[in-house]
A and B are shown apart, each in its own frame.
Chain A
């Protein structure tokens, strides 16, 4: 059994230690908000926070989460930054198919937690690991700026 802290709750899961966090969340814990896209940390759909840092859960073994806090999209509304990001996503009607958006929001929230007012270049740097095949990048950028402005206010 592996002990985990997911969204502030202590949990125990019976999985092999090399199992990626993504599949522990999705299959063992039934938390399907975090998405599988590529399995190689190339698309960002699986992004979660590990002690606040945006982390590709598809390549991060669950053993690496020992003693750390995993935060997923399901708990975003519990944080001030996460709530602001989600509100901006709604205001800008960002999602189309929506499959990548959990990961986009997690990457954006990690960025804003670190940089209160990110520049376009900083947004590019933080967000270019997250692929969106619907091409919502301009709306994502606008929503991040908007969330930043809202958080500052």
Chain B
């Protein structure tokens, strides 16, 4: 049987009896376009199953890349279901429009949207099931439902009679789906707001968690590809005789984007790939250099750009003191621990892939074109992601694996070496911003202008367009939304394309723009002769959430209190993805210019919390990611070629450099904000502002160059 209701125009819920008994609730979340169709069909891939054994399975359509979504989504369901958390399991969903991310309108994970998008729909899923279980118990006992309540997996009648969810599951499936399931008052939450253990931990400590890299299929070949060393290059000639002579190599396939060696295993494929003799045509970007990129972007900031924000009149504003500064950030690779990979099997009746991907929905559409099959015939098996950070939103690895399987007729696991991964582009854009700021005689800022020059993620994404005002919002986020009360404010954007594919990188535009703007605001504070914390605070009187985070971070860090010799503090605040984060860094700079970050204190206002432990860990995680970018990481080009390849030339933060991190949560009843990314942006300026406090030297270019900080 099926029943359906619409609690709201775009919400939809259905129920059907499982073959083996039990209750299945399937929800088509807002953003789905298959509402009517789903209303009548039995869907085993629903969001929630309660088995007669009492086991509760939450099916999650979002990708787990470390951010804790496979715990957070079940928590949302379990809270309103009044489930016994110990009986809750989570299962990865297939690709299906039923699992569309309500914020994106497609099945994908990114932009710190998971909890924001599912906060209400998943709680409604749990609440509706709870009401049906209560109704089933009431019917069984022939008592009014109002005399029954649910508690930790059991329905209890006022007489003391009890029935477990498992026992009620089959009867509950026959109940009418409530039109408007009532949600709890947050003060009654027993699961949400509690730091429950992650559900994926046990599998991740004994080697059993399966990542894309771990997929093995019968008859599978492993592919390693040679790609053009310069973006846009192509192979002129390929001699594969030596590659084919490697034991275990089965096939060499030339694609427009590279030459693949398919072998019995990775090691043989790598030997084969390295034995290929290829003459490359480097194409139009053979002369690409980082110096050239810097010059291109910097020059662009001397010209007027497209206007993203314009308040007052920065040209006419009079200032007692003006400041000009140019900031720069490099291309960055994501360097996920798990190099990109995908296993694909193109069969007569469709395509199946196994991948750690952040974009199941878009992949389905893209791969249906690649393999010339209808979208419904593309099956996506989402594996654990060994880091995502935006990189696994990209389709390069799924496309190439699918092509190789299509051509070879075999299941193919395409594996990027670390160097392949680092040199495959999809970088955080390089960016230059030119600022002008003005202070009145009292040291109050009266003008602020910023010209941002960078490549456009939107234009290069393949699925977005730059808005009519010509401003890529990813390129200016973190500058354009400057929260400070400054009467004359103008932000411009100049799109510049050196020819490198750019992409979403953890916290996207905020990752460099908050470094730029929070450093320049620090410059203004010092020029005004004011304390950098007080200066910001005074300008945030109309921004209570920024101010609240800033005050809590300053308080917890002991802003203004004495520090041991050689230690200095810096502060920064940022909003991104709906969450407000302030950070205070404690830093020392050695005579050799080496920077040591000793402690980072963060305060986050992310609205209502789902799992405070995961929140704190995500803030810490993003800080570490940000610190690597401040201290070490950059992708540079010479003669069109990426100069970095592995963790020796692209260093990241390690254990011995890890600061103490404290994360404090601002109590809030606001709607939840994102949490995977918002900790990142403030880390860089907190550190570089502390370096200024320590040395009087302003870092305007990342990563930090210790030579510039060396004492003369």
Contact = CB atoms under 8 A, between A and B. Distances in A.
A32 B266 contact: no
Contacts of A138: 620, 658, 660-661
Most chain A beta-carbon contacts within 10 A, residue among B67, B206, B339, B417: B206
B386 A99 contact: yes
B337 A43 contact: yes
Given A36-B339, A40-B648, A98 B653 contact: no
Interface string A22-43: 0100111011111111111011
B337 A137 contact: no
A124 B656 contact: yes
Nearest to A20: B267
B206 A33 contact: yes
Interface in A53-108: 72-74, 76-77, 86, 89-90, 93-102, 105
B640 to A, nearest CB: 24
Nearest to A95: B204
Contacts of A73: 206-207
B207 A34 contact: yes
Contacts of B637: none
Contact of A27 (B200, B202, B265, B648): B265
Contacts of A89: 201, 205
Interface residues of A, number: 59
A95 B207 contact: no
B84 interface: no
B337 A90 contact: no
B86 interface: no
Contact of A23 (B68, B267, B624, B661): B267
A137 B266 contact: no
A11 interface: no
Most chain B beta-carbon contacts within 10 A, residue among A93, A100, A140: A93
Nearest to A28: B265
A102 B337 CA distance: 12
Nearest to A42: B647
B658 A137 contact: yes
Contacts of A90: 197, 201-202, 205
B487 to A, nearest CB: 40
Contacts of B653: 135, 137
B387 A36 contact: no
Given A32-B214, A123-B655, A133 B336 contact: yes
Contact of B264 (A27, A42, A129): A27
Interface in A110-144: 123-125, 127-141
A63 to B, nearest CB: 13
Contact of B207 (A27, A72, A125): A72
B206 A86 contact: yes
Contacts of A98: 66, 200, 203-204, 209, 211, 384, 386
B106 interface: no
A34 B336 CA distance: 16
Given A32-B213, A42-B646, A139-B617, A97 B339 contact: no
Interface in B609-628: 613, 617-618, 620-625
Contacts of A43: 337, 418, 647
Given A93-B613, A95-B204, A97-B65, A23 B656 contact: no
A28 B387 CA distance: 26
A19 interface: yes
A149 interface: no
A135 to B, nearest CB: 3
B338 interface: yes
A38 B418 contact: yes
Contacts of A123: 655
Most chain B beta-carbon contacts within 10 A, residue among A102, A139, A141: A102
B208 interface: yes
B210 interface: yes
A21 to B, nearest CB: 11
A135 B624 contact: yes
B270 to A, nearest CB: 8
B497 to A, nearest CB: 28
Given A27-B265, A27-B267, A37-B418, A93 B198 contact: yes
Nearest to B656: A124
Contacts of B337: 35, 37, 43, 45, 97, 99-100, 131-134
Interface string B64-107: 11111000000000000000000000000000000000000000
B335 interface: yes
Interface in B638-674: 646-648, 652-656, 658, 660-661
Nearest to B247: A16
B385 interface: yes
Nearest to A26: B266
Given A23-B265, A134-B387, A135-B625, A101 B204 contact: yes
B660 A131 contact: no
A126 to B, nearest CB: 9
Contacts of B660: 138
Contacts of A76: 206-207
Given A99-B211, A136-B621, A137-B624, A38 B647 contact: yes
A34 B266 CA distance: 14
A139 B655 CA distance: 11
B387 A105 contact: no
Contacts of B415: 36
B266 A135 contact: no
Given A95-B201, A98-B386, A128 B655 contact: yes
Nearest to B198: A93
B298 interface: no
Nearest to A89: B205
Nearest to A31: B207
Interface string B387-409: 11100000000000000000000
B710 interface: no
Given A39-B418, A97-B65, A127-B655, 9 more contacts: A33-B207, A74-B206, A95-B200, A100-B386, A101-B204, A124-B656, A128-B654, A133-B387, A138-B658
* 8 smallest beta-carbon distances between A and B, as pairs: A33-B207, A135-B624, A99-B386, A96-B66, A98-B204, A97-B66, A27-B265, A73-B207
23 contacts: A16-B267, A33-B208, A35-B211, A43-B418, A43-B647, A72-B207, A76-B207, A86-B205, A90-B197, A95-B66, A95-B198, A95-B201, A96-B67, A97-B64, A97-B387, A98-B384, A99-B386, A101-B204, A105-B205, A128-B655, A131-B652, A132-B337, A134-B66
